[in-house]
Amino acid sequence: MSRRARTDARAIGLALCVWLAGLLLASPPAGSTPDEYQVKAAFLLNFARLVEWPQKAMAADRPIVVSVLGSQEVRDSIAAGIGDAVIGEHPVEVQRIDSASEIGGSHILFVTRERAQEPAEIFRTARRHAALVVGESEGFAESGGTINFFTEDRKLRFEINPDAAKASGLKISSRLLRLAVLVGEER
């Protein structure tokens, strides 16, 4: 096409850039809402306080290990949210894992929505290691997860599958159960 059309294209492009720069400068400062995963980390701390692990899985003065099956970003965010919290006499450690085979030694396993496609093997391994499996995907608790986050009016809520907790040998306090939406396992 002609030179003219090209000049026009650049002019339109430039005008739009200026308009957008204006929009950007006029936009309110971002970052007013907290990071989703830092809030979820705070929930995880509360879960850890209100769940009782079997004796063999929780040695005295050993740390509580939170494993994140997901990206490094989510791990970092959760680690930032947990900070250097201590539960009872247990410090809390956050690590990232890449597959179900690395679950051993974890007390809480957080499965991000990107990694929730193939949960069957995760649930099996987690039950063997008495890990509390927490997800954030629709149907996660029904298909065998113990706790699952969902949002309602932009606020975080969670559901609990008591059968899954029992199968893992975990005791969940009545206070936690009261705040949760209880779901059953669908077979």
- Cβ proximity to another protein: between 96 and 170 the closer is 96
- Cβ proximity to another protein: between 45 and 55 the closer is 45
* Minimum distance, C-beta of residue 169 to another protein, in the bound complex (Å): 18
- In angstroms, the CA 172 to CA 100 distance is 23
- Cβ proximity to another protein: between 55 and 174 the closer is 174
Q: C-alpha distances in angstroms, 26 versus 19, 30, 52, 166?
A: 11, 11, 50, 53
Cβ atoms 163, 147 nearer than 8 A: no
108 sits in which H/E element: strand 108-111
Touching another protein, residues 30-89 (CB under 8 A): 30-36, 38-39, 41-43, 45-46, 71-72, 76-77, 80-83, 85
The amino acid at residue 67 is S
Which of 18, 177, 179, 181 contacts another protein by CB under 8 A? Answer: 179
Q: Euclidean distance between the first and final Cα of the chain, in Å?
A: 63
- In angstroms, the CA 41 to CA 45 distance is 6
- In angstroms, the CA 78 to CA 69 distance is 12
- Cβ proximity to another protein: between 55 and 101 the closer is 101
- In angstroms, the CA 76 to CA 71 distance is 9
* Minimum distance, C-beta of residue 184 to another protein, in the bound complex (Å): 11
* Minimum distance, C-beta of residue 60 to another protein, in the bound complex (Å): 23
Site of interaction with another protein (CB under 8 A)? 1-2, 5-6, 8-10, 12-13, 16-17, 20, 23-24, 26-27, 29-36, 38-39, 41-43, 45-46, 71-72, 76-77, 80-83, 85, 96, 98, 101-102, 113-114, 117-118, 120-121, 123-124, 137-140, 142-144, 151, 154-157, 176, 179, 186
